[in-house]
Amino acid sequence: MPVFGSIEAGGTKFRCAIAASATDIIAQADFRTRTPAETLADIITFFTESAAIHGEIAALGIGSFGPLDLDPASPCYGSIVRTPKPGWSGFNLRAALMAALACKVSIDTDVNASGLAESRLGAGRGLPSLAYITIGTGIGGGLIQSGRPLHGFAHPEMGHIRPRRAAGDNFPGICPYHGDCLEGLASGAAIFARGGRHLANLPEGDPLPAIIADYIAQLCCTLLLFAAPYRIALGGGVSSSNPGLFPLIRRSVSQQLSGYCGPLALDEIIVAPALANDAGLIGGLLLAGVMQA
Amino acid sequence: MPVFGSIEAGGTKFRCAIAASATDIIAQADFRTRTPAETLADIITFFTESAAIHGEIAALGIGSFGPLDLDPASPCYGSIVRTPKPGWSGFNLRAALMAALACKVSIDTDVNASGLAESRLGAGRGLPSLAYITIGTGIGGGLIQSGRPLHGFAHPEMGHIRPRRAAGDNFPGICPYHGDCLEGLASGAAIFARGGRHLANLPEGDPLPAIIADYIAQLCCTLLLFAAPYRIALGGGVSSSNPGLFPLIRRSVSQQLSGYCGPLALDEIIVAPALANDAGLIGGLLLAGVMQA
């Protein structure tokens, strides 16, 4: 039985895994993100040592931080376009791993990989479409339609939409490009920049959770009006640490739509991910072409 | 050679056509929209008389005003959900025509039909994706990906996204559901409600075109950040009557993105439709399964 490799490439750590099926990870290791050369050395050692025990991987799938060049016709296909992380801007992660491991390597964004896993095996299992949103240090999203991540001439960057200002919110925002785009106003970093506190530590009655929910709800409404996904899975650290956000977000979505899309079962549509921390790794395996069951 | 039927179903008129290929319409007729019974009588007479000359149509495609029930599993599949037009709320346009014409009938929204035609044969020919936006009495949009309109549990309703207020614009908006959603602020009806004037009649220096362009640009930006379509074709009466809007929209998109998506050739991305008034009819033919060339 062939084994497949997966990498969840993050700004803080790289998670690596080997599996024969999407739900059965055989070996797994995490490495702190340093320079590309240092990080890649650890990754290659992991896959080489695993190969000695479990056999060579048939293919590798990567869900990576970005932005990424995902145009198969580009000479930079598979590279990280630009990032403040030293050494990573322009680094071709896919090409480097393909050369080192001598196997087929598929790459997509971290959110598309997680969304793919949630769509096929998690919160969207059996449904035609799912949107995956991560609300962590930043905000990102992907739309999985018929089991495939949606791409245009670039991958989605839906964390940078421009929400209408929530009543009473004058925070200028922290996005270096847009100031008060969604990520600039409602990401984990933005929440912390608003006063050095996390949502979970706020006193009863603090208006901030409702403000953040208003902004996240605007992204959910836009998704519903653009693509009507059967599920919107809200992942990332801010979502998982603050389950109380979910009812606030659903209420705000309902208010913002004002009944326009008919009665919607928002409890069923706007949900937590089902695969928790493994969505990214499982998504990488699916990108690699692993069997789903 | 089999012939196919097409209907562009609008609130003012129904356009009907017969063709053997998407670019070669054999017969065409328009009928004023009255009650469903009156309108359908004319349509059925057209297709029956055409059949006597050109043969029975192999299939019919409809691009219709909506909202529509497009869930194939629904008992109301193919019906108009609700509309202020007397008699049409709940009317099952697809079922009525399927019964009368005894052929396969495909239905989608008017914007998806036009988008399909623009994507395959017009402004998006040869490209993987195109978004079609109509700015007319109302605002609607559709996204065509790999030659097919994107659907979720419902069809898109992107005219109802909630833009951020343009500087200096205090118009309350006219959308009966949302007040100042995009359609409520920037549709042809909203423009006229702002003072009984059309954009084309404004004196030099009037700020309204820039305000409308700001709002339309927000929809374009959201499309670029969600799906990065290779083309955004802006159709509808407001667009076609005011070509001066295009440079204003492109400039506003560029300002709003602030370089985030890299240098974009917005002259090539945000364009006028190529098929002009025939996009809807051609889209209906494509929905019916006509040959493309």
Chain A hits for B138, Cβ within 8 Å:
none
Q: Which tens digits make up the pLDDT trace of B200-252? A: 889 999 999 999 999 999 999 999 999 999 999 999 999 999 999 999 999 99
pLDDT given at position B276: 81
Which residues of A, range 136-155, sit inside 8 Å of B by Cβ?
Answer: 143, 145, 150-155
Record the pTM: 0.96
B263 interface with A at CB cutoff 8 Å: no
pLDDT in tens, A205-249: 999 999 999 999 999 999 999 999 999 999 999 999 999 999 999
pLDDT of residue B293: 63
B71 contact A CB<8A:
no
Residue A246: per-residue pLDDT? 98
Biggest CA-to-CA distance, chain A: 60
Check B228 against A154: CB less than 8 A apart. yes
A247 to chain B, any CB pair closer than 8 A? The answer is no
Within 10 Å of residue A168's Cβ, how many Cβ atoms?
8
Q: Is B37 on the interface with A (CB under 8 A)?
A: no
Q: Which residues of A touch B223 (CB under 8 A)?
A: 226
3-state secondary structure chain B: CCEEEEEEECCCEEEEEEEEECCEEEEEEEEECCCHHHHHHHHHHHHHHHHHHHCCEEEEEEEECCCECCCCCCCCCCEECCCCCCCCCCCEHHHHHHHHHCCEEEEEEHHHHHHHHHHHHCCCCCCCEEEEEEECCCEEEEEEECCEECCCCCCCCHHHCCCCCCCCCCCCCCECCCECCHHHHHCHHHHHHCCCCCHHHCCCCCCHHHHHHHHHHHHHHHHHHHHCCCEEEEECHHHHHCCCHHHHHHHHHHHHHCCCCCCCCHHHHEECCCCHHHHHHHHHHHHHCCECC
State whether B258 and A177 contact (CB < 8 Å).
yes
The token pair at A233 is 């899975």
The pLDDT of residue B292: 79
pLDDT for B158: 97
Strands A148-149 and A104-109, bridge-based pairing: unpaired
In this complex, is the C-beta atom of A112 within 8 Å of any C-beta atom belonging to chain B? no
Q: Are A225 and B81 an interchain contact pair (Cβ–Cβ within 8 Å)?
A: no
Positive or negative CA dihedral for B125, B129, B135, B141? Answer: positive
Which chain A residues touch B145 with a CB distance below 8 Å? Answer: 145, 150
**Candidate from B226, B257, B262 with C-beta closest to A158:** B226
Q: Do A178 and B260 touch (CB under 8 A)?
A: yes
Residues B220, B148: Cα–Cα separation, whole Å: 20
Q: How many residues does chain A have?
A: 293
Backbone angle region of A200, left / alpha / beta, with phi > 0 → left and psi within -120 to 50 → alpha: alpha
For A102-150, write each residue's pLDDT tens digit: 999 999 999 999 999 999 999 999 999 999 999 999 999 999 999 999 9
C-beta atoms of B256 and A162 within 8 A: yes
pLDDT score recorded for residue B208 = 96
Q: What is the pLDDT of residues B33-45, one digit of tens each?
A: 999 999 999 999 9
Spans of chain B below 50 pLDDT = none
B227 Cβ under 8 Å from any chain A Cβ: yes
Q: Per-residue pLDDT tens for A158-204?
A: 999 999 999 999 999 999 999 999 999 999 999 999 999 999 889 98
Residue B260 pLDDT: 86
Contacts of B200 (CB under 8 A, 6+ apart): B241, B242
A293 pLDDT tier (thresholds 50, 70, 90): low
Structure tokens belonging to residue B276:
């002009």
Q: Cα distance from A32 to chain B (closest Cα, Å)?
A: 28
Averaged confidence pLDDT in chain A: 96
Contact A157 B225 (CB under 8 A): yes
Res A268 pLDDT > 90: yes
Among B129, B154, B218, beta carbon nearest to A152: B129
Interface check for A168 against chain B (CB to CB < 8 A): the answer is: no
State residue A262's pLDDT score: 80
